[in-house]
Amino acid sequence: MMGTELNQTANSAFSDYIVYVDESGDHGMQNLDPNYPVFVLAFCIFHKRHYANQVVSALHQFKFRHFGHDLVVLHEHEIRKEKGAFTFKGKHQKTQFLDELSQLIRVHNFILVSCVIDKSKLSGTSDQNKNPYHLALGFCLETLHEFLQEKNQQNLITHIVFECRGKKEDNELELEFRRMTNGANRAGINLPFEIVFADKKVDSPGLQLADLVARPIGLSILRPGQPNSAFDVLKEKFYCSGGRQNVGRGYENWGLKVYPLEKSEKPR
């Protein structure tokens, strides 16, 4: 009989972690949205055992409670705009839905690494002609490697899952991903990461959770004084200095990087 625990010893070439990625905002520099002039990339890092045994089942149970089936794919934009399956029957139902979703994110463990590119400030810098997506990707990959070093997993293969955006965009991303993992990074080392593309319609709990976190991160930078209950939950997920004793603090310019930096700030 198969055990309920995920057994990683079957193939010791793979790390204990899986990463799901999503973004918020337009990565192009041609059109600048004055209401959201940022690009956000978010890496959600899950321990595979916790993900398989708890996160997946919790998200499917959540869907059964609210929709009666588990085929609905959660998208932040559709929830916010109340489109499709997210046409709520009044404010009470929407509040209950969002509260339960926030609680699901709060109680399940994952590590968050994110980069926010302020496109309005990028012009005039030495990186003004670079792709904001690629700039954010470089930071997130390097920080992911630091996290894996802490866990003594840096020499094992870690898969990073991206949602498909289009053939041209996916090809450009894969080329840049492989360039960075083949040594074009600040450490100048090979990074044992493998890229995986997932169709937009795939029912991946990890991708759906990544989809939910990116925009609240962007809004926390754009409007720091505005109430942001979603970000309040996410603060304790960020990779931070000081380990578990410092969760919710010490994540700025650590697990969360904003680029370009303010002149008064220094990169770590």
Instruction: Round to whole Å and give the CA distance between 16 and 30.
Output: 40
The string of pLDDT tens digits covering residues 146-171 is 999 999 999 999 999 999 999 999 99
Q: How far apart are CA 152 and CA 162, in angstroms?
A: 24
Which pair of tokens denotes residue 220?
């926390």
Query: What Cα–Cα distance (Å) separates residue 264 from each residue in 170, 260, 261, 267?
Result: 36, 11, 8, 10
* Confidence band of 109 (pLDDT split at 50, 70, 90): very high
Residue 47: its H or E element: strand 38-47
Over residues 20-63, the pLDDT tens digits come to 999 998 887 777 888 899 999 999 999 999 999 999 999 999 99
Cβ 164 vs Cβ 200: under 8 Å: yes
Task: Answer for the pair 100, 64: CB distance below 8 angstroms, yes or no.
Answer: no
More confident residue, 204 or 125: 204
**pLDDT by residue (tens digit) across 6-20?**
555 455 899 999 999
Tokens representing 3 are 């055990």
Burial label, 33 (beta-carbon count in 10 A; 0-12, 13-18, 19+): exposed
Confirm whether pTM is higher than 0.85: yes
Q: What type of residue sits at position 51?
A: Y
Token pair for 242: 């000081």
**Up-side HSE of residue 124: CA atoms within 13 Å toward CB?**
5
In angstroms, the CA 99 to CA 53 distance is 23
